């Protein structure tokens, strides 16, 4: 079992010197609704995704048609407080810029200060941010902010581990993201040091097994794609999935003798799991040798934190892993007004 704290400790992960970034939630927004005040890494682009609407939906499902009944009953509406972000385990923090957007939507007068930025290492027990302002509004925003930050930080932490282990190959996520959170999940992958695969069905052609079966073969599918892109005057990358070395040879023969948009070959399930927990990458290496740099290559299937290093040494350009987003373990983060009591409880439960 690989220790997150060992791989992500300051000895392994360079951190810039401690600095404090102060900002008002109302002063950091662009016309598009995305904060750039502490945005170390910008979100990926999407032609129709409305991040502000996603935040509004998250806040609305929490508030329902009544609002925060507990806050209204227990917290004086004019009370001002400071609340601190606490890391309860080691990892890579992500979602700081998104948190600012949420605070802005709840109350533009809230003041936020960060001692870390997206992509930085945090250790258990660290206070890495502070929000100051109306207590009621801070508590209303708390759970939505943490839900996003914990998920994004979990994705970023696993991505950092996988990206470091995969080198010199680049680690990619897939479309196996939480419904409605495609851009958020893929943003977290970027923050963790990964590279984004296609955003959706619209920005890249990926010819997979079902397309190949329906088209009557792998070459028929590629020809149909090339003809369609020419007909529609579309300029985009094309990736084709292969499952056998024979399919790799077929694609290479077509690429060598035809004008085609194919720029990447996916080598699917060519990593063979062994009974002892190891993997056999012989078939994968044979495929990479056949391709010999003529197009990019992508390994897919049986990719885990334990196997990704061996796969990365095979010569592939990319390694894709759905687990980065579909099986994410959230990083434990809290937002506390009484941090001393929170730390006391944390120490008692071994979480701080």
Q: What residue ranges in 253-348 does DSSP mark as E strands?
A: 262-268, 272-273, 279-280, 296-300, 318-320, 333-336
Are 67 and 197 within one domain? no
Residue 350: its pLDDT value, please? 74
Are 230 and 86 within one domain? no
Q: Which domain holds residue 90?
A: 51-155+330-349
Residues belonging to the active site:
143, 176, 208, 241, 268
Contact 113, 174 (CB under 8 A): no
For the chain, the domain total comes to: 2
Q: What is the pLDDT of residues 89-136, one digit of tens each?
A: 999 999 999 999 999 999 999 999 999 999 999 999 999 999 999 999
Global pTM? 0.88
pLDDT range class, residue 24, cuts 50, 70, 90: very low
Q: What is the pLDDT of residues 175-192, one digit of tens each?
A: 999 999 999 999 999 999
Q: What is the mean pLDDT of the chain?
A: 89
Provide the percentage of residues in the chain whose pLDDT is more than 90.
83
The H-assigned helical ranges of 81-217 are: 96-106, 135-166, 182-191, 209-215
Residue 17: its pLDDT value, please? 37
Strands 318-320 and 333-336: unpaired
The H-assigned helical ranges of 167-293 are: 182-191, 209-215, 218-231, 245-257, 282-291
Are 140 and 255 within one domain? no
Q: What is the pLDDT of residues 70-79, one digit of tens each?
A: 999 999 989 9
pLDDT range class, residue 351, cuts 50, 70, 90: low
pLDDT surpasses 80 at 339: no
The two structure tokens encoding residue 320? 């894709």
In this structure, is residue 42 part of a structural domain? no
Are 182 and 291 within one domain? yes
Rounded CA separation 183/98 (Å): 11
Name the DSSP letter for residue 228: H
Burial of 142 (0-12, 13-18, 19+ CB in 10 A): buried
CATH code assigned at 338: 3.90.1170.20
Rounded CA separation 165/146 (Å): 28
């Amino acid at each position: 079992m690989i220790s997150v704290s060992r791989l992500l400790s300051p000895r392994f992960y360079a951190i810039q010197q401690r600095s404090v970034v102060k900002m008002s939630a109302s002063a950091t927004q662009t016309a598009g609704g995305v904060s750039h005040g502490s945005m170390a890494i910008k979100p990926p682009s999407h032609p129709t995704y409305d991040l502000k609407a996603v935040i509004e939906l998250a806040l609305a499902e929490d508030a329902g048609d009544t609002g925060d009944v507990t806050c209204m009953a227990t917290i004086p509406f004019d009370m001002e407080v400071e609340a601190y972000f606490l890391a309860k385990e080691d990892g890579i923090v992500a979602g700081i810029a998104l948190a600012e957007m949420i605070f802005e939507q709840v109350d533009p007068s809230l003041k936020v200060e960060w001692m870390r930025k997206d992509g930085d290492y945090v250790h258990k027990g660290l206070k890495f941010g502070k929000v100051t302002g109306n207590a009621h509004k801070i508590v209303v925003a708390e759970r939505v902010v943490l839900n996003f930050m914990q998920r994004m930080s979990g994705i970023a932490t696993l991505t950092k581990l996988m990206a470091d282990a995969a080198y010199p190959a680049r680690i990619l996520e897939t479309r196996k993201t939480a419904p409605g959170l495609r851009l958020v999940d893929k943003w977290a992958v970027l923050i963790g040091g990964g590279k984004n695969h296609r955003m959706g069905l619209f920005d890249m052609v990926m010819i997979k097994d079902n397309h190949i079966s329906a088209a009557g073969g792998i070459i028929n599918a590629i020809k149909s794609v090339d003809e369609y892109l020419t007909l529609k005057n579309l300029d985009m990358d094309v990736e084709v999935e292969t499952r056998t070395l024979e399919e790799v040879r077929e694609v290479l023969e077509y690429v060598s003798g035809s004008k085609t948009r194919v720029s990447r070959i996916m080598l699917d399930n060519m990593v063979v799991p062994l009974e002892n927990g190891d993997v056999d990458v012989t078939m994968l290496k044979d495929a990479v040798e056949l391709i010999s740099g003529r197009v990019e290559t992508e390994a897919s299937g049986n990719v885990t934190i334990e196997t990704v290093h061996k796969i990365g040494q095979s010569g592939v350009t990319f390694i894709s892993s759905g687990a980065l987003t579909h099986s994410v373990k959230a990083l434990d983060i809290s937002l506390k007004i009484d941090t001393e009591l929170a730390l006391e409880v944390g120490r008692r439960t071994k979480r701080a």
